[in-house]
Amino acid sequence: MDGSFVRRAAGRLTAVVALSAMLAAHAAAQQQATGTIRGTVTDAVTMRPLSGVQVSVPGTGRGALANASGQFLVINVPTGVVTVRAELIGYGAMSQQVTVAAGQAAVVDFRMTQTALELDAIVVTGTAGQTQRRAIGNVVSKVEAAKVTESIAVPNVSELLQARTPGLTLLSDGGGAGDGQVIRLRGTGSMEGRYEPVVIIDGVRMESGSQGGRCGNAVHCTSGLESLNPNDIESIEVIKGPAAATLYGAEAASGVIQIITKKGRAGTGVQWNASFDTGISDWHLERPVTWWTCTASNITSSAYPGCAGKT
């Protein structure tokens, strides 16, 4: 065997042994600069262990999951004061601070409390854009409700629309005492389908155009407009015909009644009015002058000036 080959093999072996020793020393030094965190997670009410709890040390990338006994162990945690956080669905998250010493285990126990699952509210709003009247194929009727209610007394919204909206008909539900009225726009287009107009109040659609259940002989029903106060309405717009479906959906094929309620307005403020009158009244009273009063003694008396010069 060549001596040079032996020397090269011995050199490689020496290098490998030296590198392994360096890595072992580095790992030992790193292990001496870190510690561990262990503990148990239980329910605050039942005191039963909780499994699957996510325990983490924010900012270090270290964490662990609690086992079936509620115990956890987080290794290689940097030394110093760190924050330990425990999270589990259905329970409120908890955080604790603990001091980690090199080569030692810090103990942290959690007692978690159940909380309702809270999600951010999601609001979905859909509104029709502004449309000019001349862009709609059908006629749009508008009733200035505020002006009408100022001049005459209107018992309900149905009476407010009657005789003021072309093509609108009020039908009696049964003809009995207390029976309400239902609204039809340009007649009834279906025997069994929906033919009540869609009612929209300040951009919010009412749940149904009728109240009281099924409209028929067995169950009486009235329009949902009966629950509104006419004095609270500013104006009413009525869109008749299928053109309303292009703006408010297929259910609006029988028409749409859009109600705009009154809004608060700035007042005129406090006004003060003041006035006063002044004058002088002079009432002169003189004794009447007659033949009987102008006697010889009264002619020269100052109390009877009217008798002067009379005989």
Structure tokens at 22: 């360096």
| 148 and 75 both lie in a single domain | no
| 140 and 213 both lie in a single domain | yes
Predicted confidence at residue 142, as pLDDT, reads: 80
Neighbours of 121 (CB within 10 A): 5
Residues constituting the chain: 311
| 156 and 210 both lie in a single domain | yes
Structure tokens at 133: 């009247």
Residue 299 lies in a domain: no
- Residues 154 and 174: their CA atoms lie apart, in Å, by 22
| 140 and 100 both lie in a single domain | no
- Residues 250 and 306: their CA atoms lie apart, in Å, by 103
**CATH (domain of 103):** 2.60.40.1120
Structure tokens at 225: 């407009």
| CA 251, chain centre distance (Å) | 26
DSSP summary character for residue 114: B
**CATH (domain of 238):** 2.170.130.10
| Verdict on whether the full-model pTM lies above 0.75 | no
Total domains in the chain come to 2
- Whether the CB-CB separation of 157 and 163 falls below 8 Å is answered with no
Structure tokens at 131: 């449309």
| 95 and 189 both lie in a single domain | no
Instruction: State which residues form the domain around 222.
Output: 134-261
Residue 122 lies in a domain: no
Residue 6 lies in a domain: no
Residue 1 lies in a domain: no
Predicted confidence at residue 256, as pLDDT, reads: 83
| 234 and 144 both lie in a single domain | yes
Neighbours of 67 (CB within 10 A): 15
Residues in the chain predicted with pLDDT less than 50, given as ranges, are 29, 209, 212-214, 216-218
How many angstroms separate the Cα of 36 from the Cα of each of 59, 61, 69, 85, 172?
Answer: 15, 14, 19, 15, 82
Residue 183 lies in a domain: yes
| 159 and 244 both lie in a single domain | yes
Residue 278 lies in a domain: no
Structure tokens at 255: 């028409």
| 155 and 245 both lie in a single domain | yes
Predicted confidence at residue 218, as pLDDT, reads: 45
DSSP summary character for residue 297: T
- Residues 40 and 148: their CA atoms lie apart, in Å, by 74
Predicted confidence at residue 193, as pLDDT, reads: 54
Residue 170 lies in a domain: yes
| 107 and 167 both lie in a single domain | no
Residue 75 lies in a domain: yes
| 152 and 238 both lie in a single domain | yes
Q: Which amino acid is at 273?
A: N
Predicted confidence at residue 212, as pLDDT, reads: 46
For residue range 191-245, list pLDDT tens digits in order. Answer: 555 567 888 888 888 765 455 444 544 455 566 677 788 888 888 888 876 666 6
| 45 and 145 both lie in a single domain | no
| 172 and 256 both lie in a single domain | yes
Predicted confidence at residue 25, as pLDDT, reads: 52
